[in-house]
Structure formats: structure tokens, C-alpha cells
Amino acid sequence: MSLEITFLGTGSAYPSPARGASALVLRREGQCWLFDCGEGTQTQLMRSHLRAARITKIFITHLHGDHLFGLPGLLCTLSLQSTPDASKAPVDIYGPLGLRSFLWRSLELSHSQLLFPYTVHELVPTPDQCPPEEFKDFSGWDRGEELPQGPPGRVLHLDPGEDSYLLVEDEQLVVRAFRLFHRVPSFGFVLEEKPRPGRLNVQKLKELG
């Protein structure tokens, strides 16, 4: 399995003429996975060798603006480059609780309609992930409101035994989120490659002693 990492932005708080806000792309098996999407990420993508249309998963570490203000714009640009296809697999977006509402409201208020499906998988934080005065419980944010066109997706809780959140698992790797401690609930992501059994010619080894 080959993995390639491209840093699109390493700036803190805001972008600069020569340095974008937080964004990183991992390229794997022809797919691109985007980690954080600060302001200007799509411009950085255009300057890179990467193709934005290959983004299949997006991971947001936390809900500070310098890590996600570029996301609605990127999704809209991807939509402009797309054609309607009901059979297309959705873009999976992972991030803290509240991300689904942020995206839905941003796209709804800007009258933006995406031509491709997307799902939002929200991670439920624990109150001890940030100072008590900064913790906001978004679990009832949309209670009582109908989101008829809101994106589908899972709500993921911490697995106490693993002290992490299981996000993705396939034949080659496992992706988990773990808690970080910041001013607001934050998450890090771990990609762990599964063991690959070797191929040995047992008979040949015996012949060679």
C-alpha cells in the first residue's frame, strides 16, 4: 500500500500570501483524503499536483475557523466540476459534533446545491476535552427543527475500551480518531496499516535446509 502526504497549508489562525491555513492531503490507492480545510485550501489544491475531484474523505480536527472555513467553498467547487450521478459514492466527512449543522446551514443559506452526495459522521466529544467554559453541547442543536435535506451520517461515541472512535476499516487499514485537548473539543486521526502476511515457499526453504 502506497501513501503520499502533501501539506497544502501549515499556517495558524489565518492564511498568508505564501502559506495556507491548515490542510493536508493523504493520497492512497488513487483516492485523496483531506485532513482539515482552512480558508484557501482549494486555491492550494489548484497549485498542487493533486486533483480535487479525487477527494473521497474529509477529516476535520475541530471547529475553529482556520480548520474548516474552506470546506463549504471546496464542496461547492467540487459540485461545479461534477455531473449528477445517483450511483456515485458519497464523500464521507468526519468531524466533531456540530459539523453537520454548520455545513447544512452554510449551504442552505448560500442557496448552494451540491450535485454529489455527502455524509457527515460526527464525533461526540467528552466534556473534559477542553476548559469547562469553552465546552458547548451541540447534541440538541437542531432539536425540534426539521432538516429535510440535511446530510445523512453516523453519530460516533467514544469506545471506552479502545479510548478512541472507529471511523474506517477495510482489508488494508484502520482509521481511528482519538481525543485531543485544546480550547475546544478536538480530535487527531490515526491510520494504522494492518499486518500483511508474507509469502514463503515452504518447500523451497526445506530444500535449502
Distance CA 177, CA 163 (A): 9
Can 163 be counted among the known catalytic residues? no
- Contacts (Cβ under 8 Å, ≥6 apart) of 96: 60, 62, 63, 122, 123, 125, 138, 184, 185, 186, 187
**Cell numbers standing for residue 156:** 460516533
Contact between 68 and 98 under an 8 Å Cβ cutoff? The reply is no
**Cell numbers standing for residue 111:** 442557496
* Residue recorded with cell 455531473: 83
Please identify which of the residues 36, 66, 85, 159 carries the catalytic annotation.
66
Reference 61, options 130, 108, 153, 6; nearest CA is 130
141 DSSP assignment = T
**Cell numbers standing for residue 208:** 535449502
Q: Tell me the catalytic residues.
A: 66
